[in-house]
C-alpha cells in the first residue's frame, strides 16, 4: 500500500491518495484545498483513481471534491447521514467567512458495513458517528489479509478527539465510536487523521488524555 498525504492552509486538513503498488489502482480520501497536489501525484505515478471517498462532510474535507470529480471519472461516496452537511457546504463555509462552492452530487452512499475494492486492496467502511452523524472510518488493507490502516477523518487525532459542538455532534456517541469501532483494531494499526500527524491505535489507547479508562 502506498500513501501520499498533503495539507493546505487555512485548515491544514489532510487529503490522502492510497494506491495498490501492484495494479496502480487508487482511492482519493477527503480532497480539500490540497487536491491539486494529490491529483499531480496520481498523474506522476500513473495511478487510476477509482473512488473519491469522504470520511464526513465538513466543508474543509470537501473543497477539492469538484476539482477531483472533474479530473477523475470516479464516483463520490458519502454516508447518507451527512447529506445535510454536504448540501449545506456553502453555508458551512459562510460561517467561517469563506466562499465555498457547492460540491457536485454524491454518486453513492455507503451501506454499513460496506467493502469497496481497488486493486488487491479493500476499503472496509465502518460507521463512527459523534463528530457528525455520518462520520465513517475507512479501514484499508490487502483483501487477502486482515491487517488494516485506518483513515478516521476527524473522529480521533494524535492525543486528541474530534470536536462535538458542531451540528449533529455528540460527545458520548463519539467516545462510543472510538471505543467500540476504532479500538477493536490491534495496537499496531496505523491511524491517519483528518488533521495533524499519523498515530497508532496502541499509542492512543495508552496515552490519549480523552480516552483514559
Q: Using CB atoms, what's the residue nearest to Zn ion?
A: 58
Dihedral angle, C-alpha 203, 126, 96, 67, nearest 10 °: 110
Per CB under 5 A, 129 contacts Zn ion = no
Residue of the chain from 136, 154, 185, 200 that contacts Zn ion (CB under 5 A): 154
Determine the Cα angle at 14 with ends 68 and 98, to 5°: 70
Greatest pairwise CA separation for the chain in angstroms: 47
Return the closest-CA partner of residue 177 out of 122, 124, 119, 136. Answer: 136
Which residue lies nearer to Zn ion by CB, 131 or 148? 131
Q: Are 118 and 27 in contact (CB under 8 A)?
A: yes
Spell out, one character per residue from 40 to 79, where the chain touches Zn ion: x when CB under 5 A holds, - when not: ------------------x-x-------------------
Contacting Zn ion (CB under 5 A), which of 119, 194, 200, 204?
194
Grid look-up 451501506 returns 111
* Closest to Zn ion by CB, 17 or 47: 17
Interatomic CA distance for residues 66 and 14, integer angstroms? 17
Query: How far apart are CB 182 and Zn ion at their closest, in Å?
Result: 16
Nearer CB in complex with Zn ion: 50/131:
131
Residues that bind Zn ion (CB under 5 A): 13, 58, 60, 154, 194
Amino acid at each position: 500500500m502506498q500513501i501520499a498525504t498533503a495539507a493546505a492552509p487555512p485548515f491544514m486538513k489532510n487529503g490522502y491518495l492510497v494506491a495498490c503498488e501492484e495494479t496502480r489502482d487508487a482511492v482519493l480520501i477527503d480532497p480539500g484545498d490540497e487536491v491539486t497536489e494529490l491529483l499531480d501525484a496520481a498523474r506522476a505515478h500513473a495511478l487510476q483513481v477509482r473512488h473519491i471517498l469522504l470520511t464526513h462532510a465538513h466543508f474543509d474535507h470537501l473543497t477539492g471534491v469538484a476539482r477531483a470529480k472533474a479530473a477523475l471519472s470516479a464516483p463520490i461516496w458519502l454516508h447518507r447521514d451527512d447529506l445535510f452537511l454536504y448540501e449545506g457546504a456553502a453555508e458551512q463555509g459562510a460561517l467561517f467567512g469563506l466562499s465555498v462552492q457547492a460540491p457536485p452530487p454524491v454518486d453513492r452512499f455507503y451501506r454499513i458495513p460496506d467493502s469497496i475494492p481497488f486493486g488487491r486492496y479493500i476499503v472496509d467502511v465502518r460507521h463512527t458517528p459523534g463528530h457528525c452523524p455520518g462520520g465513517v472510518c475507512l479501514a484499508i488493507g490487502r483483501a487477502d489479509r486482515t491487517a488494516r490502516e485506518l483513515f478516521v477523518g476527524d473522529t480521533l487525532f494524535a492525543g486528541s478527539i474530534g470536536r462535538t459542538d458542531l451540528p449533529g455532534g455528540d460527545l458520548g456517541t463519539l467516545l462510543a465510536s472510538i471505543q467500540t469501532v476504532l479500538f477493536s483494531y490491534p495496537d499496531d494499526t496505523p491511524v491517519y487523521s483528518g488533521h495533524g500527524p499519523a498515530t497508532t491505535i496502541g499509542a492512543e489507547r495508552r496515552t490519549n488524555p480523552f480516552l483514559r479508562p
